[in-house]
Structure 1
Amino acid sequence: MTSLPPLAEILATVRVVSLPLATRFRGVDHREAALFEGPEGWAEFSPFTEYDDPEAATWLAAALDYAHAPQPAPLRHDIPVNATMPAVDPKRVPEVLARYDGCRTVKVKVAERGQVLADDVARVRAVREAMGPAGRIRVDANGGWNVDEAEHAAHALSEFDLEYLEQPCATAEELAELRVRLRRWDLPIAADESVRKAQDPLAVARAGAADLIVVKAQPLGGVRRAREIVAETGLPAVVSSALDTSIGLSQGAALAAALPSLEFDCGLGTAALLAADVVRDPLVPRGGVIAVGRLTPDPALLDRHAASGDRRAWWRARIERCHARLATRGDM
């Protein structure tokens, strides 16, 4: 896409939905998203509601690119995905895993506000027991620990043979220090927020702060830009999502399909956390994979899960503000 589409053209097809979650996640029990159609198909704009306009504008750029421009040719047609385990009581672990058909890897949320390390250990233990010794477990702290806390947690969780720690600390400097401390433990560190929320997404690689990166198509500006970032860092990448609808997940799948190398299972199975979706055949894991390809929402589901009038107005106003920012940024 070489030019910014007119605002009126975008708003003409916008549908705003509010989807119930099967399990409370990130402190919410519904996920809101704005969907719209362009010449290439449907796209999703769904930055979390607390994100400010400068950050959200990049998400809009990604959605516009997906709706208005052909995407890179896929190098694979199925994407292996991981299960995502919210910060639930250990007793609920089998219930959550049952939603992820055939997944061999589980990402477990840890460092949840209001919980303690013992809660994390119990949850990861329950996942290991459910997955058996062959299952792969990674944990995601969303930057919730300082370096000492992260080192202590890594030791406490070491018996569960973790694949990697995702964003254990908030800053690239902390990640670099922790990586040095954990080197003898051979426990890789993955950077997520330090890539997608950073002014310079390459800084974490230059600082030697991560062994791999987690990339998301929406917050990085689209498939092409995210693919460029992966190439420029020179690090292995895991493609993930932000609790998208199946429309948004299809964009993530397009990114995963376009990467020359895909060493890790991707975090694109999160439609399994939704109790409803916007397509008749949701992009949930089947045999541990999701398919690559564009999807079209079902009009009846868009109607059934339409957000309230005030929420629709809120999202339309947000699109208008972000569109104005893209117009002044001049990067489209």
Structure 2
Amino acid sequence: MLSRPDMTLVSRTAGLEALRPEWEALWQEAPKATPFQSPAWLIPWWRHIGEGELLTLALREEGLLVGLLPLYVHAAGDGVRRLFPLGIGTTDYLDAIIRPGHEADVMAEAFRQLAALADRFDVAEWPQLRPGSPLMEPAPAGWTSRVAPDTPCPATPLPSSLDALVSVVSRKTLRDLRTVRKRAAEAGEPHWRTADAETIGPIFDALLRLHAARWETRQEPGVLDSPAVQAAHRAALPELLRAGLLRLQALHLNGEVVAVLYALLDPPQRRARRVYLYISGFDPALDRLSPGMLLVGHALEQAVSEGFATLDFLRGQEPYKYFWGAADAPSFRRILHPPTGQRP
């Protein structure tokens, strides 16, 4: 490294918004960045869900943004000030965004700067990190670091054609899919509709209704129950749609929306693209039609037809994911304590 990257500390929401064009360009350049690191996802999250002190590091070399660590400090009821990544809680993959080839230099400077800011937080907690994440880079001397396994994210590698699906998904699951499709056809006139700019609001409303109805049968609130979470999604959805990162699909039966799938997509120019199955909702009164299987089966076949490489079920080891040929992909939680009494 000929010179250290220059760091700008972003501590106000307006500063985060001002970063959007550079952030978007950097995100496009990072081949492993998911939609969950995009400004379309994280800025609405911070505006509506985030609580605490924004502590985001923007690192540049010769004026070019080469690294972004979207972080904030949250003081919990126990009095501990934790340095979290933006998006925690509602986001399945968390990470920094770094231009390829700059990972070691950017993280070395980021650790140096965070050491200088150590009076603002007590511990850094970075969950849901994938293997190879920049946030897994070795910490300098003086930091203490502990890494533990976090919740796996099952994913299915997709074949190149629908005819080859049987090489990934069991014959029984494919046979069951044909059976439930036949039942749905006998029950009415099923058809799919993908949200566009005009229908995105009504389809999201249907998702909220169906998701809540499903969780009411368990006498529990769903993850979409919070008004703040709903507001973040309402703000993010149009931006994700414009960026080509959203697939929000409704299954209609006899003119009624009976199931909705909310998925995110890697951008079109990305190699080995993934579909991320984020959340779904369906009418619990139609359990006999297996709407969950209809949703996943449709998403799977569409992803194969469009040349996607992976169907990512995101975190959680629910049994149904493995019916579709998914295998666990590891993730990690890193906990770091900064050095004391050090300044750059």
Q: Which has the higher strand share?
A: 2
Q: Normalising to structure 1: TM-score of the pair?
A: 0.27
Q: Normalising to structure 2: TM-score of the pair?
A: 0.27
Asked which structure has the greater CA Rg, the reply is 2
